[in-house]
Amino acid sequence: MSTIKALVAGLCASILVGCGQGEVKHFDANEYPQALSDWGIIELQGTQLKVNDSAVVYELNTALFSDYALKLRTVFMPVGESANYHPSETFDMPVGSIISKTFFYPKDSEGRLLTTNTWQGDPKEVSTSTHHLVETRLLVKQTGGWDAISYIWQGQEAYLSITGKLQRLTLANNKQLNYLIPSRNQCASCHATNHTTKTIRPIGIKARHLNRASNLYQANQLTHWQSKGMLQGVTRPVEANALWNDESASIKHRARSYLDINCGHCHNAEGAADTSGLLLDYEDHPKSAMGYCKPPVAAGSGTGGRLYSIVPGHPAQSILSFRLDTDNPAMMMPELGRSLIHKEGVELVSAWIAELEGECI
Amino acid sequence: MMNSNTIKLLSTLGLSAVIAACSQAPQLSFQDAFRQSLETAKPGDVITVPEGTFAFDRSLILNADGVTIRGQGMGKSILSFKGQVAGAEGLSVSANDFTIEDLAIEDTIGDALKVNEGNNIVIRRVRTEWTNGPDVNNGAYGIYPVQTTNILLEGNVAIAASDAGIYVGQSKQIIVRNNRAEFNVAGIEIENSIGADVYQNTTNNNTGGILVFNMPHITQRGYATRVFDNDVNNNNTANFAAPGTAVSGVPAGSGVMVNSNDQVEIFNNRIADNNTANIVISSYFSANYAGQQELAAEFDPYPEEILIYDNTFSGGGTTPGFDYLVEIRDAIYGVDGAFPDIIWDGIIDPNKAEEKQVICVDNGDAQLLSVDAANEFKGAGVDMQKYDCTVAKLAPIELASN
């Protein structure tokens, strides 16, 4: 086997063009390579973004809003190993697993970034002649647990960044975007979903996010993972979050799904934002904990002068709508990961609050 | 087309050639080096901040346990966040065994220094300040430990926070001493915390000097705070908190204020010229903020076992911070009169056990006025006999190691 790999590697080294499907490599935490391509997961070949054949591309139902960036997600597990299913928690994945998420934007002829989306999720459609690559984040499962690192694209390669970076990008409307590439510790700000244990976990690798059809593989993603031997122990029924813009789903389901992925990593019973007493993950909580007529605890100017997180029927009086509808870092939610307002997200959450019934005294 | 490894090798060779030609590699700015140190910190690290003012445009984050950050003095080593565009804090810490001392954090867009969950925290001789003075657009909290245990805050200076200069939330085993907090909405605030000693602080010119509060919808209910040997003067700054926040309900001119908290001991303080009253005791119902309708089941809104003794009072009570308080003052003491040193909303738990004391006062000729807020102020008045009682005194807080 190793001889074959060596031969293939040798072949790649000599030909390269048209090959590009080398081995995915695993590195220990103190040996992370400077160049993303060393991992073998994802790289640029010419203008074309290439994903290793042994990695599986996946999508989420509603995803975290990240300044309108598009995201190409891949998951790799060592050959012969698989993840263990859990109905509500992040799947337990084998050591050696690597998850990648590449953030990019379509660009216009002048290189300005577009916030409109026509991409259908196929990596073959991602080319640097029509897209601007920003960063690729990796979650790497070591023996001690998950590790989060980020690579910043610069020309043909992406380079490891421990401290993160504030990138000033220009949008098609000529507005500036202060895009924050997270530092290593900032990765934990979201991925340590249990803020007491501070254990880093993938956020999207949950049944409710993955349970959807894959455009790329023409199958339900969980079924596809099972058929590839990547997932075991699936029990049904499987929860599914809505796509936030799927008008066939109820506004309630879409809004709860949106809050779950955008807020629930901190606003859960063990999360960093449990200090606020406001729980926005897709679990059953008392209404007041979900924000109904709940006064803020330490929101500062983030209240926007409003009295409750949610005033049923009145989004314009609800702190939740205010904090989504501002780009002031002192007031906005989430605190990290965006510098623009997701107008469509604000509209969805506001539409949900508008249809809620009840009264705050 | 060239093999990428070959390219790397070539560029490495090229780089070595350049390095060999130069005398040294380019140096990181302090800002970049500091951020790098925080991101890669290991237990036992001491990260130093030299003299100088260092500008940052995004938050700093520390997650590693056992780290000390040490500057050269709160007037010398300054981390300035003026113009910050990303992150909700200046320095955000999520770690145990953390010490920070002798530096300043200025003009953050949100909170200056937040420590979220951690044991054994020392914050010493740190200044947090918004240099433009009181403004609703300033960050909410200066020094902000929350869900921490075994925590020492001493020798700090906190100025112009739009919520609390020094705010200890949902914590246990707390000492707050020798700090100075001024021109904040709340100077020092202890909220939903268990076991706090607050002493030898100077809290002047805030909206409220020292606050001991409980908020609903939080897992930990606070109790057992001693406030003693503090100077609490002239906390008459107009309330500049954002509407909707808890402290927006603090009337300007509050010296020491207790809201919905139990077992609070206030003694040996020098409290003067706070123009609502030198001490204000209230239930959640008088807090002037929202969310009062669904409380009973989960939340005890009544202050109980409040012990006030041996304080030195002077002045104050002349210009109460809310209109309804002015009306009461006018009605009882006349427009030129003043509230006595202690005022209380008079609201008592209807199901309170007979033997449980609400407020006990043993403070010379200082008077307590109950405004009888539960009965449209009809029974407002002073009856010091009601407060001639005692409750067991609290033991001093002893931190695990200092």
**Is there a domain that residue A32 lies in?**
yes
**Is there a domain that residue A4 lies in?**
no
Q: How high is the mean pLDDT of chain B?
A: 91
Enter the ipTM.
0.87
User: Chain-centre distance of CA A261, in angstroms?
Assistant: 8
Alpha-carbon gap: A240 to the closest alpha carbon of chain B (Å): 29
| Interchain contact, A198 vs B94, CB within 8 Å | yes
Is the CB of residue B24 less than 8 Å away from at least one CB of chain A?
no
What does the pLDDT average to over B291-305? Answer: 73
Looking at residue A271, the DSSP 8-state letter turns out to be: S
Q: Could you report the per-residue pLDDT of B343-386, keeping only the tens digit for each?
A: 999 999 988 888 899 999 999 999 999 999 888 899 999 999 99
Q: Which among A300, A306, A361 has CB closest to B292? A: A361
Of A305, A23, A91, A271, residue with least CA distance to B290: A305
Q: Quick count: other Cβ atoms within 10 Å of Cβ A26?
A: 17
Judge if the upstream peptide bond of residue B145 is cis by omega within 30 degrees of 0. no
Q: Is B293 exposed, middle or buried (0-12, 13-18, 19+ CB in 10 A)?
A: exposed
pLDDT score at B294: 56
Is the CB of residue B297 less than 8 Å away from at least one CB of chain A?
no
Together in a domain, A188 and A318? no
Instruction: Quote the domain boundaries for residue A313.
Output: 251-355
pLDDT score at B28: 85
Dihedral pair phi/psi, residue B322, rounded to 5°: -125, 150
Query: Which residue from B minimizes the CA distance to A157?
Result: B4
Query: Which residues in chain A come in under a pLDDT of 70?
Result: 1-21
Q: What confidence tier does B288 reach under pLDDT thresholds 50, 70, 90?
A: low
pLDDT score at B354: 87
**Is there a domain that residue B175 lies in?**
yes
> Which residues are CB-contacts of A223 (< 8 A; sequence separation ≥ 6)?
none
| Interchain contact, B245 vs A300, CB within 8 Å | yes
| Interchain contact, B141 vs A166, CB within 8 Å | no
Global confidence as pTM: 0.89
At B389, list the tokens: 């009682």
Together in a domain, A48 and A145? yes
List C-alpha distances in Å: A189 to A183, A199, A272, A337, B242.
10, 11, 8, 10, 26
At B259, list the tokens: 């809201």
Together in a domain, A293 and A330? yes
Interface test with A, best of B218, B245, B285 (most A CBs within 10 A): B245
**Is there a domain that residue A126 lies in?**
yes
Question: What three-state secondary structure class fits B308?
Answer: strand
Across the strands, what pairs with A181?
A: A165
**Is there a domain that residue B109 lies in?**
no
Strand B111-129 to B141-154 pairing: parallel
Taking 60 as the threshold, does the pLDDT of residue B277 lie above it?
yes
> Which residues are CB-contacts of B263 (< 8 A; sequence separation ≥ 6)?
B223, B224, B225, B304, B305, B306, B391, B394
**Is there a domain that residue B193 lies in?**
yes
pLDDT score at B101: 98
**Is there a domain that residue A5 lies in?**
no
pLDDT score at B226: 98
What does the pLDDT average to over B92-97? Answer: 97
pLDDT score at B23: 47
Query: Which of A198, A232, A266 is the last residue in one of the domains?
Result: A232
Together in a domain, A221 and A304? no
Together in a domain, A202 and A257? no
Q: Could you report the per-residue pLDDT of B201-255, keeping only the tens digit for each?
A: 999 999 999 999 999 888 899 999 999 999 999 999 999 999 888 899 999 999 9
Question: Which range, of B81-90, B108-117, B127-136, B393-402, averages the lowest pLDDT?
Answer: B393-402
Alpha-carbon gap: B132 to the closest alpha carbon of chain A (Å): 17
pLDDT score at A290: 94
What is the Cα–Cα distance from A272 to A264, expressed in whole angstroms? 10
Each residue of A148-163: b (16+ CB within 10 Å) or e? bbbbbbeebbbebbeb
Number of domains in chain B: 1
Together in a domain, A226 and A258? no
How many Cα atoms within 13 Å fall on the side-chain side of residue B194? Answer: 7
**Is there a domain that residue A102 lies in?**
yes
**Is there a domain that residue A246 lies in?**
no
**Is there a domain that residue B83 lies in?**
no
Is the CB of residue B170 less than 8 Å away from at least one CB of chain A?
yes
Number of domains in chain A: 2
**Is there a domain that residue B246 lies in?**
yes
| Interchain contact, B109 vs A306, CB within 8 Å | no
What is the amino acid identity at position B263?
Q
List C-alpha distances in Å: B317 to A200, B253, B273.
53, 8, 7
Question: What three-state secondary structure class fits A178?
Answer: strand
Together in a domain, A104 and A204? yes
**Is there a domain that residue B111 lies in?**
no
Together in a domain, A204 and A278? no
Together in a domain, A341 and A196? no
Alpha-carbon gap: B32 to the closest alpha carbon of chain A (Å): 8
